[in-house]
Amino acid sequence: MKSLNRRNFMSLSAASGAVLAAGAVDSRPALAGSVTFAKGGRDFSPVTGRERKAIPTACWQCVTRDSLIGFVEDGRLVKLEGHPESIRTNGVICAKGQAGVNQVYFPDRILHPLRRVGKRGEHKWKRISWDEALDEIAARLKPLRDAGTPEKFMFQYGRMKASQSKVMSDFMAAYGTKTIGNHTSICEGGKWTSQELMWGGHYDNWDFDKTDFVLIFGSNMLNTHTNHIPVAQKLIEAHVGRKVPVYVFDVRLTNTAAHADEWIPINVGKDGLVALSMVNVIMNEGLYKKDLFKFMKVSADRKASMDEKIAAVKEQVAKFTPEFAEKESMVPAGKIRDLARRFAKSKSGVVVSYRGTIAHQHGADQERAMMLLAAVTGNVNSPGGRCQGVGAGWKSPKSKHPKARALDINHGFPGQVAYPTHKVSNQVLKMIKDGRNGRPEVYMWACYNPVYVNGEVNENREIMMDESIMPFLVCSTIVYDESSSLADIIVPDVTYLERWDWEDMVSPTQVAEYYFRQPLIKPLGESRDFGDMCVGLAKRLGIELAWKDKEDFVRQSCEMTPGVKEAGGFEYMKKHGVWHDKNANPDYLAFETRIPASALEADGVIFDEASGVYWNWHESKAKTEAEAKTVGYQNTPKSYKGFVGQEVDGEVYRGFKPDAVNKSGFLEFYSELMKAKGMPVFPTYTPIPEHVEMAPDELHLTTYKVAVHTHSRTSHCKWLSEIYHDNPGWMNPKTAAERGLKDGDVIRVHNKLGGITTNVHVTEGIIPGVIAISYHVGREHSGRYGSGSPSPIPGVADDPDFNNKWWDKHGVHPNAIIASSPDEISGQQRWMDTVVRVEKA
Amino acid sequence: MTEMTKSTIGRRQVLKGAGVVAAGTAALATPVKQAEAAKKVPRWAMVMDLRRCIGCSACTVACKAENNVSLGRFRTVIQHKMIGTFPNVTKVNLPLMCNHCTSNKEDASAKVPPCVKICPEYPGERQTYVTPEGKKIRYRGGATYRRPDGLILVDVEKCIGCGKCIDGCPYGVRSFDPFTKAGKKPEKQAVDKCDFCKHRIDNGVEPACVNTCQGRARIFGDLNDPESEVAKLVKEHNLEKSVLLPEEKTNPHVFYIDPDNLLKTAYRQREKGKLDHYVDTLDG
């Protein structure tokens, strides 16, 4: 048992903190009717009063992946709570996390392997054994491998992270294919690419515990975010507990905007411009902080003096006056000036930006504008600022593998995207249809729903229905959905509450947390972890893996990961679920670290005069030192892998180390890489073409997420769909009046891709000229709680609670009228650029 | 009801049983003060901090799981209300549940709320409540009744499923539970509502909704202990009147921190027999 010493815990729990270490549960009442309560870690049956078995594990409803305690009663999972000892979550979880129980027990869950017996889309299935399923899949995979074309086996995933991802990629590598697709471009890939061009890595954390001022652009982070629970609770504490000013720019009055000092309505796609105009004010009024300029590259001359750098930034943002920004964005110039001044004068400040900012054409450039605002005010990687995220660094076993081959269908069409560092998943089906770069003979997917989650849903369905271009489809899943319903073989995956994993999501404290997932119950039916399915395939294909099964993979990882190993490895993690280095200092200002001379003299390290980078050419694709020197750092493929340090003012620093592109060690705003691809060299404002061409009667269509659903994987969770199952379009009263619409009217929302019918929700909480429709719902197939009818597969279960289901609306899906269209810089799906007309239906 | 009878172990043992006392107890009352405070019967209460409620519904779902609440009803829910005209708009999220009231407006001396007073099975058999120090207090049971620590509880074994308490509650937070038969009339459904997670608090663990609240908008504790956070908050923010429907004079024990005075505007009373009192997420 451990004593806890957590600020939040002490100040916020009922009185004090008596919490039991997970796995060490005392059978006596902790405190009976006294003033002191444990916050969590134990639970009891409300019927029998008996204590429930507590097992530490981790969530997977969304990518935040909070640590959990699962409570089990008579072999049944009954309750999930936050892990009280997690430094990431402080023991709380969200509504989706609480509804994880529904993922295990929803009545339409797929629990047996199925083979399609009718035509694709006819929904006719036969239950088969695992042996039959694996034999059949292996019979398709083996000839491809034997023929030297393993790349014709394509795997695509939605949510696979940490050990899930490692196990998958290890198996695929051992098989020999690198035709692996993801879903990142429909999520936040543009933000990541942008950050990789500037500060090297990707993923930002916001140091709310220490910050003094918060600006939020296009993010409802109090309700939904990729690191939701860890950061949201800290924002509330900063705002309410420490009275930190918070301002939210959004087209919609989100719950986050409603909790800010002020909601600042802003026109669609203008976030970057407003940030640039704030930089304009800060530069012109001399409010910038010089600290970071030393490490910033803001002009072609890497040796520019401080004064030259300041002058260069001033010049670049000169045209973005607050008055110009007001005209475009509707944010008053006076407001821009006021916030710019107050933000710059604060001791520290955070700039948050998300999909409202980045899911546009040149959204990646808007993210660069956000970073520029943070940088000129000295708020990058500093206490209270915008910091590079810190996650756990696990080690894991690796199998022997041949040189893998890939079909080039994961990075968009030739010339379509400048830097697809997180791939272009939104173009995969279109590329398969096109066929110019080849087509997979076997397409397998897991934890993904390509038909539903991308734009142009109808085209996606047509492509996957066509056996002449997608001959064999295999899906590992728990739910019968818009995509698995088109598979040839469905294999039943386990839920995240029935499997082993190690986990690594970013910690809000800038100290890494290592955490763990273990089965709370025996997997239902014949469900089998995707990793264990890979083992079954490997055996049939004669592939030797470095791990016996998923549990063994996780066990080996625990025994080889520094820190976790010394703490007690696998057995420690099973008992405690979380580990972090108690002596670790929060990671700030690492770019100021000097590189020792010895590192610069190592074999292969050369100096690149153009960029000022010391790099080891052995790590790159260069064949000789002479070639490396001639071609240079920027143009040698994979040179960034050999990055050693950045020369700045005669000293060599770690700088902002690249990890995806050949950038220098500066925080790059003047980007030679952008210039080389014909993209804006310095952050700028580029109007979105579709918006420039809009007719007066057209509206912007924006989409959003609500607190109680993930994009596509929770509509079958009854407790969530009971709260949110219908998604009428939000519309400002002025916009509604112009169309003769009143609240609740049935409307048709349409454009050249087609139309959808829904109701209008007339509300003051949205700007004029926009219709906002959430996704999550509008499911064709999602079982009885998500789409209204049981899944048409053999053996679905009964659920007495279904008699109590009272809602009969299941919403509409806006993706049918959103183009699958990537940002030309990053490949990010442009969710927010769609233009529609709306009429009374 | 004998839920407290096992709780006669002394405070010292109790703390030992808990295994751990958090570091940094200087922030708390001294042990002596705690012991003095604990001599009184606890009076459980909850403070809802509207500044901190972000309308995420984690509490609603946590409660569903914890108490196996059927579809079609909730023990606790968030009401959302948008206020103002574009662009000067705000929104308030209002957590709502049983108020664990003390009084009855017609008869304050009854010391029971209207839902209890109206219960045909109340007052029933005498029950014994044992304080943490072993002091025994006698009280009257019923199908719905008030425990001496202030919890308003339902005894499904005694319930006849008449639904009078559902209509008697001015807040509309009671409902029939399709999963549970009324003990005295098994052809009917028993009544159900929030019990402050009695099974958890009797074992020294906070209610499920409090446990999962990321905004720390829900604070639970003993109003009779002046050192408790709820008591301090009620005093600091002057919350005695900051309750739902004060005109009903029900003396609720769920208090709202409401600096912008939005409580009355945000609260929407239940329309009898309608579910949409509970379901309003369009603005969420």
3 state DSSP class of A388:
strand
B284 lies in a domain? no
Among B138, B193, B275, B246, residue whose Cα is nearest residue A723: B275
Average pLDDT, chain A: 94
pLDDT reported for residue A798:
87
B276 lies in a domain? no
Nearest CB to B57 within list A33, A707, A803: A707
pLDDT tens-place string over residues A447-485: 999 999 999 999 999 999 999 999 999 999 999 999 999
d(C-alpha A551, C-alpha A573), whole Å: 12
Number of domains, chain B: 1
d(C-alpha A241, C-alpha B216), whole Å: 11
| Cα-only R_g, chain B | 19
- For residues A269-289, average pLDDT: 98
Q: Which strands make up the sheet holding A214-217, listed edge to edge? A: A262-265, A246-250, A214-217, A350-353
Q: Choosing among B205, B229, B233, which should be mutated to test the A contact, i.e. which has the most A CBs within 10 A?
A: B205
pLDDT reported for residue B108:
60
- How many C-beta atoms surround the C-beta of residue A269 within 10 A? 30
Chain length of chain A: 841
3 state DSSP class of A56:
strand
Q: Which residues pair with A116 in a beta bridge?
A: A125
Q: Which residues pair with B153 in a beta bridge?
A: B145
Q: Which amino acid is at A829?
A: Q
Confirm or reject contact between B188 and chain A (CB < 8 A). no
Cβ atoms of residues A816 and A458 within 8 Å: yes
The DSSP code sequence of A642-661 is GEEEEEETTEEE--S--SSS
Per the CB < 8 Å rule, is A43 touching B66?
A: yes
pLDDT tens-place string over residues A189-233: 999 999 999 999 999 999 999 999 999 999 999 999 999 999 999
Per the CB < 8 Å rule, is A764 touching B89?
A: yes
Per the CB < 8 Å rule, is A26 touching B18?
A: yes
Helix then strand then coil, % of chain A, to nearest 5: 30, 20, 50
Percent over 70 (pLDDT), chain A: 96
H-helix or E-strand containing A231? helix A228-236
Q: Give the helix ranges, DSSP H, for A422-484.
A: 428-434, 450-453, 457-465
Torsions phi, psi of B91, nearest 5?
A: -145, 140
Confirm or reject contact between B82 and chain A (CB < 8 A). yes
Nearest CB to A29 within list B17, B65, B87: B17
Work out the burial of residue A806: count CB atoms within 10 Å of its CB; fewer than 13 is exposed, 13-18 middle, 19 or more buried.
exposed
Range A114-185+407-516+524-540 classified under CATH 3.40.50.740: yes
Q: Choosing among A98, A231, A256, which should be mutated to test the B contact, i.e. which has the most B CBs within 10 A?
A: A98
In order along its 284 residues, chain B shows pLDDT tens digits of: 333 333 333 333 333 333 233 333 333 333 334 444 445 789 999 999 999 999 999 999 999 999 999 999 999 999 999 999 999 999 999 999 999 999 877 666 678 999 999 999 999 999 999 877 778 899 999 999 999 999 999 999 999 999 999 999 999 999 999 999 999 999 999 999 999 999 999 999 999 999 999 999 999 999 999 999 999 999 999 999 999 999 999 999 999 999 999 999 999 887 766 655 555 555 54
Range A689-840 classified under CATH 2.40.40.20: yes
d(C-alpha A48, C-alpha B174), whole Å: 22
Interface A-B: count of C-beta contacts within 8 A:
311
d(C-alpha B144, C-alpha B117), whole Å: 9
Preceding peptide of B87 cis, ω within 30°: yes
ipTM for the whole complex:
0.94
Chain length of chain B: 284
Q: Which two tokens mark A477? A: 């899943």
Give the CATH number for residue B41: 3.30.70.20
Strands B76-85 and B88-97: antiparallel
Architecture of domain A7-93: Single Sheet (2.20)
pLDDT tens-place string over residues B171-203: 999 999 999 999 999 999 999 999 999 999 999
Residue ranges per domain, chain A?
A: 7-93, 114-185+407-516+524-540, 204-388, 590-676, 689-840
Torsions phi, psi of B90, nearest 5?
A: -140, 180
3 state DSSP class of A57:
strand
- For residues A582-595, average pLDDT: 96
Preceding peptide of B123 cis, ω within 30°: yes
Per the CB < 8 Å rule, is B23 touching A4?
A: yes
Among A588, A227, A736, A494, residue whose Cα is nearest residue B214: A227
Per the CB < 8 Å rule, is B17 touching A21?
A: no
Q: Choosing among A35, A81, A731, which should be mutated to test the B contact, i.e. which has the most B CBs within 10 A?
A: A35
Residue window 152-171, chain B: list those with CB within 8 Å of chain A. none
Give the residue from chain B lying closest to A732, CA to CA. Answer: B86
Q: Which amino acid is at A553?
A: F
A277-307 core/surface letters (b: 16 or more CB in 10 A; e: else): bbbbbbbeeebbeeebbbbbbbbeebebeee
Among A752, A658, A670, residue whose Cα is nearest residue A368: A670
Give the residue from chain A lying closest to B14, CA to CA. Answer: A31
Among A513, A705, A516, residue whose Cα is nearest residue A59: A516
3 state DSSP class of A780:
coil
Cβ atoms of residues A647 and A599 within 8 Å: no
B256 lies in a domain? yes
pLDDT reported for residue B274:
62
- Domain carrying residue B64: 11-266
Q: Which CATH class is domain A204-388?
A: alpha beta
Give the residue from chain B lying closest to A705, CA to CA. Answer: B284
Cβ atoms of residues A193 and A358 within 8 Å: no
